[in-house]
Amino acid sequence: MTEPQSAPFQQPPRSAASAGLTPQEQQALVDAARLLKPLARAARVANFDGTLYTIGGALSLLAGGLGMDVVNLTLGVALLAVGLFERGAARQLRVAHPQAPLRVAKSELAGLAVMCSYFLYAWLVMPALSEEFSSQLSGLGSLGDSARRDAEAFQRIIYPTLLVTSLVVQGLVVRYFLSKRAAVNRYLDEVPEWARKVAEGVSD
Rounded Cα distance, 21 and 34, in Å? 18
Predicted confidence at residue 33, as pLDDT, reads 93
Average pLDDT, the chain: 85
pLDDT at 173 over 60: yes
Mean pLDDT of 166-193: 96
Average pLDDT over residues 147-172: 86
Distances (CA, A) of 83 to 15, 54, 95, 105, 172: 39, 5, 19, 12, 18
Q: What pLDDT is stored for residue 140 in this prediction?
A: 58
CB atoms < 10 A from the CB of 78, how many? 21
pTM of the model: 0.79
